Each structure stands twice: as structure tokens, then as C-alpha cells.
A and B are shown apart, each in its own frame.
Chain A
Amino acid sequence: MDFIIQNILNALQWGSFYALIALGYTLVYGVLRLINFAHGDIFMVGAYIAFFLATTMLGPSFGLSPFMTFVIAVPLTMALTACVGVTLERIAYRPLRRKGAHRLYVVITALMCGLILEYGNLAVLGASRLKFPDLIEKSIWSVGDVTMTNLKVIVIVAAVVVFIFLNFIVTKTKIGMAMRGISYDKFAIPLMGIPIDSIIVFTFILGSGFAGLAGLLFAMSYPILEPFMGMIIGWKAFIAAVVGGIGDIRGAFYGGFLLGFIEVGVVTVFPSTYRDLFAFSILLLILWIKPTGLFGMPQSTKI
């Protein structure tokens, strides 16, 4: 029993990371119908930004306490990562959108931007792995054989809070209504007097900001940073978002946790090398049965 609860906790933690990144994918996709393949790398950049912020603030010039560093690093990381996301949108995606390029060319551009971020990082910082400093004093609670760290709780709570917040923004606010509007008809929206570019920038701020948060939390949980850390987790989060039904906030959230549970479930039963094989087979099966994902609406063709 303890074993099962322990694994459920682990799955929740992994699922939280997937969910946080998948939310960013789904936000941008929901508005622009653009698969922002650079998103996983924005997550990686977020982790690096967090690293540099943390080491600077802990360092001799500021000398802040670890907890204060954490408190300041969270908003600052989110803001700076959001800047990276917006920059990508501004210099790479927007000109293409203006020129009316085929949707897939924008996707390829995103893929290329991701590569630039990965290899640019590798070129500038070298291949050495960085060790993220401890920001929060680790406290471990044990109930029976189940161990729970405060970090795990923070990660899971963060994912849930972000989900509730984004769900609120998208479904209840005026700007969320504009975001949903753009996804239906990009051409009618400017005619209705809605500033389409500002809405898109706002979307990127939200998506990238939370990717930055995910990066910070990931770096705190698994304190080794390397330039390709965002690649696999990004692709997987994207798959999670699609299995949930891409474009739907709930889909990304539940899809992320679903993937977390499948992966942890596979690893507890089979050797860990089978993780990808089984996880992806299950996801493929889900998509065979429900081609538009768990929450996706079946698209009706009208003739």
C-alpha cells in the first residue's frame, strides 16, 4: 500500500512538470493553431535563467538568504523567460504570420528556434553540467514508508494553481474571450476592434512565464542543468497536451498527469528501459480510439 501511495506521489510530481509545460503548448496552440516546438527549450532557458539568478543573488554581491532568493527568483524567472518567449514571437513568428506563410512553415521556424536555443546554449556555456543551488531547506515527512518532501508539495500545488489560474483567465475574463475568439477566426477578430497582436503577445507571456516557473521548479527538484534537458520533456509534454485534446486547458492538465502516471506505472512494473515504449504505445492506443484526444471536440466537416 505504501508502495502504491509513494508511486502515486511520484507520478503526481512528474505529471505536474508535464502539465506545466503542456499548458504553455496548449495556450499558444489554442490561440494561433501553432505548435510552438521551441516551448520545451523555453523551459530549458527558464531553468538556466533561474540558475543564474539564484547564483547571483546567493553570491557575495547580494548575499541573500536562500529563501529570499527563492521568493525573488520565482517572479523574476517568470518575467525573464516570458521575455524570451515574446522575443521569439516578435522576431520569428510574427513576420511570417504577417506574410501569410503556410502554418507549417511557422512550425518549422519554431523547431529551428528550439535548435538555436539548445545549441546556442551549448556553444556559449559549453557542455559542462551545472549544479543548481539548494534554495529551500529540504524537509522530509514520512508516514509509514511513504516519504514526502516539501519540494514535491510545492511542485504539485504550483501545477494545480497555474491550471486554475489559466482556466479562469481563458474562460472567465475578457482577454480570455478574445483568445478563444482568435482561435475561431483570425480574420474577424481585428474587425471587431480587438488588438490581435497584443492578445498573442499576452498568450506568449503566459505560456513562456509558466514554462519558466516549470524550469525553476524542475531545476530545484533535479538540480543538474544541461542544454538538452528541455528537448525530451518538451516533446513528451506536447504529446500529453495532444492526448488531452490540444487547445483545451483541461486537456493539457489532465494529459500531463496521465502521462506522468503511465510513465511511473510502467517503470514500477517493467525495467525502466521500457518506459518510452509502453508509454507511447498507450498514448497511441488512446489516439486510435479517440482521435481528437480526451477533451478535444471532434471536428465536424460541413458540406
Chain B
Amino acid sequence: MQKYSLNVLMAALAVMLLALAHFRIIDNYIQAVLMFVGINIMMSTSLNLVNGNMGEFTCGHAAFMCMGAYTSSVLSVLFFGKNFGPPMFPESMAMIVFPAIILLGGVAASLTSVLVAVPAFKTRDDYLAIITIAVNYMVISAIENMDFIGGSRGFQGMKDTVWAMNDTISFPWMLFWVITFTVFCVWTIRRFITSTYGKGVNAVCQDEVAAEIMSVNTNKIKLVNFMISAGLAGCAGGLFAHIVGYVNPQSFNILKSTEAMVMVYLGGMGSLSGAVISAIVFTGLLEVLRSQALVDAMLSPVTLFFPDWDPSAGVIKWVFIPLLLVLIMQFRPEGIMGNKELSDVFPKLKKYYTFK
């Protein structure tokens, strides 16, 4: 029973959400928020693989998201859009080809990650941090200089694919794919990291010298780990591009990488369930603080004395969230979950589910 309980629960939840979306009981806004939750879960769990489990400090995760987003956008427009000439595939193929487009974006991202993984053979810590920041800037700057995909003006036209899917069968397709890929991402990471092969990643984190001498091929483990992590981030990027329908190199700048890092360290380094929880909490906070009314209410004691002061919610949000994080760090300096999983914190849960 407990072997399947979580799967059944997840499937039921997914079907329920899709049904609610299909019959328009939840509106587009809530759907969008749900999709961003999914994408942030993918970003945070995949970054957790490198920054948490392997103990590296990479701060350019958005570069891989960017690669994935652009690759799959270009493919998508090439296959189903009209910007680069007539579509290559008929509309009815869209829902079959779409996952392949997203996965190819992931492949492109994981190939980019070799740029980071190879220096990581020799160096780690802050020097690697710099390399990742540099790669992030390089990817953005390279795309800004490619005029055929819009350069710094951005790139659009991927919505054609989404509409193509909708025209064939009316269904909340994007929500479906986001849920599918999120589950795929968490499941892949969980399986990789709990196998003896994947535990080599933890061994590299805890004592690299001992790992190498105890027959773990540390270079290969690092390469594999970076590629999986970047690949999943690339998938997240591809989905992001198709939800928004527009990508701009600057939407994958260092601030986006910072968001991913915040989610990882908020959740606790190396805790997969922590990464999922913090992604949900973080996205929720971002959305809640979007409301100007709420922000005005929060600031009312101050605006009472300075009636001229009228800050926008978009700005206050980015003061409030970091402040909250700083406070959380002061009270729980190891993140929400530490390095434990949900089933370690609440052992009773083990009775009800196993997650493999």
C-alpha cells in the first residue's frame, strides 16, 4: 500500500488540477502561478543537486535555463511557427513533438554545462563560483549578440506551438506538461541520488580525496552531476519560455540565478523535499506580495507619517523577501529542512509512503 500511496496521491492531485483547469474552475492566473511553482521546483531541485548534494557553490544556474529556453523556443518556432518560414510539422503533431522540443532544450543546456564541469575537475569553492557567474554573463551576452534570434530585443513566437496543441485537442496542455516535467525532474533526481552510483556525489562533497582513492571516478561523477542538473534546468527554461511566450536574455540574468540559490539554501542544502517546499513557499510569497493592496496595508504605519511616500509593490517585494530570508537565516541557519528529508523529520510519515 505505502509503496504506491504517494504516486496515487500525486496522480490524483494532478488529475484534479488538470480537470479544474480544463473546466475553467481555476482561472488563467492561478494556472500560471501553478506552472511557475512547477518551474521553480525544477530549478531549485536541480540546483540542489550541485549546490546541496555536491557542496559546490555555483551561482549561474540561470545560464542553463537560458540555453534551454532559447534552444526549445527556436526549435518550437522552426517546427510550428511562422517566423522562420512555413511550419515544418502539421499542427496535429504538436503534442507529440513538444516534449521532444523541451528535452532537446535540456540537452543543449547540459552540453553548455561542460563549460563549468571541466574547470570543476581542478577547482572548487569560490573559484568555481566565479566561473559559473562568468558563464552566466557569457551566455546572456552571446545571445544578445545573435541578431537572428532577436538579440537583446528578445524572441517570441513559441505560443504557436501551444496554440497548435490547443487547436488539436482543447486541454490545459501547458499545465499538463509542467506537471509531467516537474514530476519527471524530482523523480529523476531522487532516483539518481539514492542509488549507490549517485551517492558518489555525496562522497565527493564530504571528502573528495577519500572518494577518489576509494575508487569513485570523481571527474566523471562531477560531469554527470553537472549535466543532469543543467539538463533539468534547461527543461525548466524551455517550459518557462512556452508559458510566457516571450524570452529575453536579461530575464535569465544573475538575479534569476540568485532566486534559484535562495530556494536551495532556504530549503536546506542537500534536502530534496526542502528544495520542493522552499520552491513552493518562495513562489507563493512572490505572488502574494504582488498585490499592491497588501503591500499598502503592510506599510500603512509608515505611510501614515510620510503620506507622500508611495512605493510600488514590485519594489517593496524585493525588500521584503530578502529581509524575510535574512531573518529566517538568523533563526534557522541551516535552512528549513537542514540536510534532512521530510521522512527523516517526521519518521511516522514513512508508514504512509515511500518515494523511489
- Cα A45 to Cα B325 in complex, Å, equals 21
**Is there contact, CB below 8 Å, between B134 and A112?**
no
**Is there contact, CB below 8 Å, between A239 and B326?**
no
Residues of B within 8 A of A296 (CB): 127
Q: Shortest Cβ distance from A24 into chain B, in angstroms?
A: 15
| Interface hit among A135-143, A197-205, A274-282 | A274-282
User: Which residues of B, 299-356, contact A by the 8 Å Cβ criterion?
Assistant: 309, 311, 315-316, 318-319, 321-323, 325-326, 329-330, 333-335
Which of these, B134, B330, B334, contacts A95 with CB under 8 Å?
B330
**Is there contact, CB below 8 Å, between A274 and B141?**
yes
Check A303 for interface membership: any CB of B closer than 8 A: yes
Check A71 for interface membership: any CB of B closer than 8 A: no
Check B227 for interface membership: any CB of A closer than 8 A: no
**Is there contact, CB below 8 Å, between A284 and B138?**
yes
**Is there contact, CB below 8 Å, between A246 and B141?**
no
| Interface hit among A113-121, A164-172, A180-188 | A113-121
Check A76 for interface membership: any CB of B closer than 8 A: no
| Interface hit among A6-14, A46-54, A99-107, A147-155 | A99-107
Residues of A within 8 A of B101 (CB): none
Residues of B within 8 A of A287 (CB): 119, 123, 127, 130-131, 134
Check B137 for interface membership: any CB of A closer than 8 A: yes
**Is there contact, CB below 8 Å, between A113 and B322?**
yes
**Is there contact, CB below 8 Å, between B119 and A277?**
no
Cβ proximity bits A225-249 to B, threshold 8 Å, 1 near / 0 not: 0000001000100110011001000
Tally of chain B residues near chain A (CB < 8 A): 46
Cβ proximity bits B31-50 to A, threshold 8 Å, 1 near / 0 not: 00000000000000000000
B143 to chain A: closest residue by CB: A277
Residues of A within 8 A of B122 (CB): 291
Check A61 for interface membership: any CB of B closer than 8 A: no
**Is there contact, CB below 8 Å, between B315 and A242?**
no
Q: Shortest Cβ distance from B22 into chain A, in angstroms?
A: 39
**Is there contact, CB below 8 Å, between B126 and A284?**
no
Summarize B's interface: helix, strand, loop or mixed: helix
- Cα A243 to Cα B145 in complex, Å, equals 25
**Is there contact, CB below 8 Å, between A281 and B138?**
yes
Check B69 for interface membership: any CB of A closer than 8 A: no
Residues of B within 8 A of A235 (CB): 133, 137, 254
Cβ proximity bits B74-87 to A, threshold 8 Å, 1 near / 0 not: 00000000000000
Q: Shortest Cβ distance from A12 into chain B, in angstroms?
A: 23
Check A96 for interface membership: any CB of B closer than 8 A: yes
User: Which residues of B, 236-267, contact A by the 8 Å Cβ criterion?
Assistant: 254, 258, 261-262, 265
- Cα A102 to Cα B334 in complex, Å, equals 7
Check B296 for interface membership: any CB of A closer than 8 A: no
- Cα A133 to Cα B101 in complex, Å, equals 54
| For the complex of A and B, 8 pairs with smallest distance between CB atoms | A101-B333, A291-B123, A112-B322, A277-B141, A276-B141, A119-B318, A242-B130, A123-B311
Extra 14 A-B pairs, beta carbons < 8 Å, given A99-B333, A273-B144: A108-B262, A115-B258, A119-B318, A231-B254, A235-B133, A238-B133, A239-B130, A274-B145, A276-B141, A277-B137, A277-B142, A287-B131, A291-B122, A296-B127
19 A-B pairs with C-beta separation under 8 A: A104-B269, A105-B329, A108-B262, A108-B265, A109-B329, A111-B261, A116-B323, A119-B316, A119-B318, A119-B319, A120-B319, A124-B309, A239-B130, A242-B127, A246-B126, A276-B141, A277-B138, A284-B115, A287-B123
